[in-house]
Amino acid sequence: MEKQWVDMSPEEKQEEMFNQWLSPRDPEGNDLKFQSPGTQKDYIERVTIIKDAIQMKKLPARVPVIISPSFFPCYYAGITPQEAMYDYDKLNMAFRKFLLDFQPDTNIGSIGPGPGRAFEILDYKLYSWPGHGVSPDSPYQCNEGEYMMADEYDALIEDPSNFFITTYLPRVFGALEGLKMLPAATGILEIFGVATNFIPFGLPPVQATFKALMEAGSEALKWIGAVSALGNETMALGFPGTFGGFTKAPFDVLGDTLRGTRGIMLDMYRQPDKLLEAMDRLTPIMIKMGVNAARMNRHPLIFMPLHKGADGFMSDEQFKKFYWPTFREVMIGLINEGVIPFPAAEGYWNSRLEVLRDIPGGKTLWMIDQSDMLKAKETLGTVACLAGNVPSDLLKLGTPEQVKDYIKNLIDTVGKDGGYIVCNGAFFDEAKPENLRVMVDFTREYGIYK
Partner 1 sequence: MNKDLVSMIADLNEQEALKIVKDRLNAGEDPLRIMEDARKGLEIVGERFASNEYFIPDLVYSGEIMKLITELVKPKLTREEETRKSGKIVFGTVKGDIHDIGKNIVAFMLDVNGFEVIDLGVDVPEQKFVEKIKESGASIVGLSGFLTLAFDSMKQTIKAIEDAGLRDRVKVMIGGGQISEEIRKYTGADAYGRDAMAGVTLAKKWTGIN
Residues that bind partner 1 (CB under 8 A): 128, 133-135, 137-139, 141, 143-144, 261-262, 265-266, 268-270, 312-315, 318, 346-347, 391-394, 396-398, 426, 428-431
Backbone φ, ψ for residue 134 (5° rounding): -130, 160
Q: What number of H helices and E strands is found in the chain?
A: 20, 10
Nearer to partner 1 by C-beta: 47 or 356? 356
Burial class (CB in 10 A: 0-12, 13-18, 19+), 39: middle
Nearer to partner 1 by C-beta: 39 or 138? 138
Q: Are 345 and 310 in contact (CB under 8 A)?
A: yes
Beta bridge partners of 130: 134
First-residue to last-residue Cα distance in the chain: 40
Closest contact distance (angstroms) between CB of 316 and partner 1 is 9
Q: Are 51 and 59 in contact (CB under 8 A)?
A: no
Closest contact distance (angstroms) between CB of 314 and partner 1 is 5
Closest contact distance (angstroms) between CB of 119 and partner 1 is 16
Residues 6+ apart with CB under 8 A from 406: 390, 391, 394, 398
Report helix, strand or coil for 344.
Answer: strand
Which ranges in 237-305 belong to alpha helices (H)? Answer: 250-252, 260-270, 272-297
Nearer to partner 1 by C-beta: 162 or 261? 261
How does DSSP classify residue 222?
H
In the chain, the amino acid numbered 105 is D
Nearer to partner 1 by C-beta: 16 or 137? 137
Nearer to partner 1 by C-beta: 24 or 398? 398
Closest contact distance (angstroms) between CB of 72 and partner 1 is 8
Closest contact distance (angstroms) between CB of 364 and partner 1 is 23
Nearer to partner 1 by C-beta: 36 or 135? 135
Closest contact distance (angstroms) between CB of 426 and partner 1 is 6
Nearest to 257 by CA among 368, 145, 158: 145
